[in-house]
Amino acid sequence: MEETVKHHLKRQLRRLTSERPYQLAVASAVALVLASGTGAALAGADEAPAAAPAPVAATELRDDTAASRGGARIAPAPSSAAPAATSAAPSANATSTASSTAPDPDLTRKPEPPKPPPAKSLDYDYQAQTTFYNCGPAAVRHALSAAGIARSQDALGTQLGTDQLGTDSAQDTTRVLNATVEGDPYRTRTIPGGAATPAEMDRLQADVVAAVGDGRGVVVNVAGSATDTTGGWHSFPGGHYVAVVGYRDEGRLVKIVDSADPATASYWMSTIALANWAATRGYSA
């Protein structure tokens, strides 16, 4: 009986060693069982198929599955990187080029005109009016002389249409001044009411500053009475013409040239007083 068991054991070992190496563990277990005295049961089943291959096959399947999963774990994953951005930020060179070609606002901005000086007076050639009605031609002559233009009262009287009734209006003085001064710079301003409004006073002040700043005198058609800065009284109920050739205090005071009396050839007057003196008439500036 012992020889039979040994023979059977050898056959089992040869068969198991021909299987895959990982089945050796099973063969060792079978040998341990046979050696411990339980081989009698296996001896009776010498010719029966071994019972171990089924669980071995199951173990083999599990090993193969584990191997495939392991392969899946180490296989390179498909690339999920986002495509490279096609619109890169502008380089420093591009930025510097763009900034160098952009117009400089300091160069394209129109320069602001300089503020007029707070005071200015023009040189002029004084001449008293040659007739009692020639104040219009004399005032125009004074304004032109401040611009460096010489004209006679007689020639200007003809252009103005002056007669013994005088010169009609500031419309005439504006017309003749523009016919003489290049660029037609003069405009007629009227003060139709019996007294000047604050807006009309401000406009006269601005007009005097602009004209004198441009090197031109202003001709004003006045009527009634006015007082200068020294208290001098000047009255012309029927109307009169004077020239303005300077200003002070940013135009709040104006310098008047008056052809009526050489003793008071010029004087200073507030712009407010002059604006009221020109009420119902007007001026050329």
The chain-wide mean pLDDT, for the chain, equals 77
More confident residue, 58 or 11: 11
Does the structure show a pLDDT above 90 at 258?
yes
DSSP at 6: H
Which domains are present in the chain?
A: 2-69 (no CATH), 120-284 (3.90.70.10)
Q: What is the mean pLDDT of residues 7-25?
A: 50
**Mean pLDDT lowest among 31-40, 161-170, 215-224:** 31-40
How far is residue 169's CA from residue 184's CA, in Å, rounded to a whole number? 18
Q: pLDDT (tens digit, 9 = 90+) per residue, 142-200?
A: 999 999 999 999 999 999 999 999 999 999 999 999 999 999 999 999 999 999 999 99
Phi–psi pair at 248, nearest 5 degrees: -140, 170
Provide the pLDDT for residue 109: 73
More confident residue, 148 or 112: 148
Does the structure show a pLDDT above 50 at 255?
yes
Q: What is the mean pLDDT of residues 251-280?
A: 98
Per-residue tokens: 63: 């090993």
**pTM for this structure?**
0.63
The answer to whether the CB of 9 falls within 8 A of the CB of 31 is yes
